[in-house]
Amino acid sequence: MIAETWFQDLVRKPTDLFLLAGHMSVVNQQGWDIVQKAIREHHQETPIAILGGHTHLRFCRQYDEYSMALESGRFMETVGWMSIKMNRPNNSSVSSSRKYLDANRRTYMYHTNTTEHAFDTKTGAEIDAFTNNIYNQWELGTPHGCSPENYYVDRVDYSDPQNIQNLYANKVIHEVVVRGWNRSDVPYVFIANIGMIRFDIYRGPFTWNDQLTVLPFKDGYAYITLPWSIARNVKDKLFEYPSDHFDAKTILTQALGHLMPVDEPRDQQTFSLSEPEPTLGYVTDDLCGGNGDDTKHARIPKGSTPEYYSNDFTYQLPDDHPVDLIIPDFLKPRTIVSINKLSTERVYTLDDMLEYGTVKTKEGIYPM
């Protein structure tokens, strides 16, 4: 990008502030730093404000005393706030600040200095009415069942029964996809990656809205029949691909230069009259100094789930026994490559993969 004509023309013009925004992480320096350095070749002290994304983390860094780069978490859980004081005496360093605001009504009322009665505007009420109408028309609030437990994306390890990927691979796929298809008597290995499940499930009624929040994709499932000797090893081969996703603890440790703390769950909380126990939430560590969190929280525990995971298969089969390898459609290309790395007798193609069942991924939990 920095070599393109439009960019070179832009950085040669007199400029008060460069505002950069894009779906690129500010946690590591492999991206925004290149753009920042290209600007600095022509504007050594012009303020640069960078708004990034992609890793779903709260993070801030400053490349120099005249710049700030901010990343504001995932989905709509966080509102990122950055301010830069432009009036500088004698070209001194700019004064920059950042805050991570929890996205909720109480936060908005506090920062707009309004009350419950005065907060809503006419436009806001109209938007609420519009979205509520769609919610009702699509029957998003219709209960399809009841979850007996909380199931978490990344709060507990994959081996934990409350890990949602564990639930998906070992119960949902078997009950919803396999049992309803005409190959349910064939041994199978199911493989998925951590990008599929997007959010937690909480104990209580499970609605269509919950289903679309947890699994919003419309992919189908595919299968290929393989010898047991190959099927049981495909998952390990997939790890040779560069990671599609970011492990928060790992990349923050690399960025900060020290091991990230992980709070262990506590069975008993200390009782205090003077200071109530903070609720679970984001506790941010970044490189911009001070505390950027607008609301104090207790750190959410973090578990570990591998990039690729599978059902817990325990088949005792001969190496040449046919087994169904089941995957979401979007994993087909790299799965074929991994299979062929393991196969010594034939070359497999995408034509060898067939549709498995009629259930789409976004329909994959509520039928339970």
Number of domains forming the structure of the chain: 2
Tell me the whole-structure pTM to 2 decimals.
Answer: 0.82
In a domain, 30, yes or no: yes
Is the same domain home to 101 and 10?
Answer: yes
Q: What is the domain-level CATH number for residue 194?
A: 3.90.780.10
Is the same domain home to 12 and 155?
Answer: no
- Going by C-alpha positions, the residue among 107, 22, 77 that lies closest to residue 213 is 77
Reduce the DSSP state of residue 97 to 3 states and report it.
strand
Is the same domain home to 67 and 198?
Answer: no
Is the same domain home to 46 and 164?
Answer: no
In a domain, 205, yes or no: yes
End of a domain among 55, 84, 107? 107
Domain range enclosing 316 = 143-245+304-363
Residues 14-51: tens digit of each pLDDT: 999 999 999 999 987 678 999 999 999 999 999 999 99
In a domain, 95, yes or no: yes
End of a domain among 53, 87, 107? 107
Is the same domain home to 218 and 314?
Answer: yes
pLDDT of residue 257: 53
The answer to whether the Cα torsion of 190, 194, 197, 199 is positive or negative is: positive
pLDDT of residue 266: 38
Which residues does residue 84 pair with via DSSP β-bridges, in sequence order?
Answer: 96
Is the same domain home to 36 and 166?
Answer: no
Residues 61-119: tens digit of each pLDDT: 999 999 999 999 988 999 999 999 887 666 667 889 999 999 999 999 999 999 999 99
Is the same domain home to 28 and 147?
Answer: no
Q: For the chain, give the mean pLDDT.
A: 89
Reduce the DSSP state of residue 250 to 3 states and report it.
helix
Is the same domain home to 152 and 63?
Answer: no
Is the same domain home to 100 and 35?
Answer: yes
In a domain, 291, yes or no: no
Conformation bin of residue 278: beta by default, left when phi > 0, alpha when psi is -120 to 50: beta
Dihedral angle over CA of 111, 114, 116, 118, nearest 10: -140
In a domain, 122, yes or no: no
Is the same domain home to 77 and 11?
Answer: yes
Residues 285-321: tens digit of each pLDDT: 999 999 999 999 999 999 999 999 999 998 999 999 9
In a domain, 258, yes or no: no
Residues 223-273: tens digit of each pLDDT: 999 999 999 999 999 999 877 655 555 555 555 554 454 444 433 444 445
Quickly count: other Cβ atoms within 10 Å of residue 247's Cβ.
Answer: 17
**254 and 260 in contact (C-beta within 8 Å)?**
no
In terms of Cβ atoms closer than 10 Å to its own Cβ (0-12, 13-18, 19+), residue 330 is middle
- Going by C-alpha positions, the residue among 20, 27, 79 that lies closest to residue 51 is 20
In a domain, 71, yes or no: yes
- Going by C-alpha positions, the residue among 3, 18, 7 that lies closest to residue 69 is 18
End of a domain among 60, 89, 107? 107
Question: How far from the centroid of its chain's Cα atoms is residue 273's Cα?
Answer: 37
Q: Write out the H or E segment, with its range, that includes residue 191.
A: strand 188-193
Is the same domain home to 334 and 190?
Answer: yes
Sorted by sequence, the CB contacts under 8 Å of residue 205 that are 6+ apart come out as: 143, 145, 146, 147
Secondary structure letter of residue 300 according to DSSP: P
In a domain, 23, yes or no: yes
